[in-house]
Amino acid sequence: MPALSSTAFLALNVPLHGLPWYQDYASFLFCAVIGVYGGQRMIRALRKELPEPRRSFYLRRAYVFTILITISFGSAIYFMIRLPAPVPWILIALGLVSVGYVWNPFSVKAALRYLPYVKSPVAALVWSASTALIPGIMTRMPFPELAGMTFARFLFALALILPFDEMHLEEDIKEGIQSVPGLLGKNGLLVIYVIIWLLYVIIISLFLQSGFIKTILCHTWISLFFGINYFLPMECRWSLDTLPFWAFTNIHFVDILLK
C-alpha cells in the first residue's frame, strides 16, 4: 500500500540522516496518500483507464472508497494545519501536482502523466519532496545537505518506480502514454536502473551523514524483496507489491545494531 510506503520512506530518514520522527507529519502523509491514490484510481476507473478486474473492483465499492477518501482528506487537513509554516503551502503545491498527475479540468490528455516521458520523474519528484525535502525543512537542515538528501531520495524513488512502470507498459501504450521504459526498452532500462542505484549509494554514503555499511544494510531488505517481486509471474505480483516497503521497518533495528 502506498500509504505504508510513505511512512516507511519517512522512517528511512531516522537512521540514515539523523532526523527526528515527526508524528503529525507522518500522520498527515499517511492519510493524504490514501486520499490521493484512492482518488486517482477512482478517477481512472470512471474514465475506463484501469484494466479489468481492477476497474470493476473499484466501481463495485465506489461508495466505500468515496467515504474512505473523504475521511482521509479530512484527517490530512487536520494534521496539515498543525504543521509549521511554510510546510502547509508546500504540501498544497504537491497536492495540486498529485491531482494534476491524473486529472486536468480542460482535457483528459493534458494530465501530467500523458506528457512524454515525465510519468516516472514526476512521481519520484513528489515522493522525494514529501519524504525528504519537507522533513529536512522542518529540521532546518543546511541547504547543501538538504539538497543532497532530496536528490538521493529522488533517485531512490525513481529506481523503485521505473521497473513497476515497465511492468505496466502495455497499459500505458493502450492509454497513449509515452513512458521512460517504453523509450529505453528492457535492456536500456536495466542499464539506467543500475546507474541510478549506484549513483544513489555513492551520494548517500559519501556526501551525507551515512556510512557505506549502514547504507547497504538499510537497503538490503528492500532490494531483496523488490527483486523477488519483479521476477515473479504477473498473477503473483500484486500480493507482494508492498513487501519492499515493509522491509523498511527493519531500519530502526539495523540502526540500533550499528550504534
Query: Mean pLDDT for each 10-residue chunk of the chain (259 residues)?
Result: 69 75 90 87 81 83 89 94 92 88 73 85 90 92 87 84 79 83 81 80 66 54 48 42 41 41
Count other Cβ atoms within 10 Å, centred on residue 104: 14
- Taking a C-beta distance cutoff of 8 angstroms, is the pair 194, 160 a contact? no
Amino acid occupying residue 90: I
Sign (positive or negative) of CA dihedral 93, 99, 102, 104: negative
pLDDT computed for residue 76 by the predictor: 93
CA dist 87 → 32, 80, 134, 150, 152 (Å)? 14, 8, 7, 15, 21
Helix (H, G, I), strand (E, B) or coil at 104: coil
Q: Give pairs for 117-123: CB < 8 Å, separation 24+.
A: 117/178, 117/179, 117/180, 117/183, 119/165, 119/172, 119/177, 119/179, 119/180, 120/158, 120/161, 120/162, 120/165, 120/179, 120/180, 120/181, 121/158, 121/180, 122/97, 123/157, 123/161
Contacts of 172 (CB under 8 A, 6+ apart): 119, 165, 178, 179, 182
106 is written with which cell numbers?
480542460
Q: φ and ψ at 84, to 5 degrees?
A: -75, 150
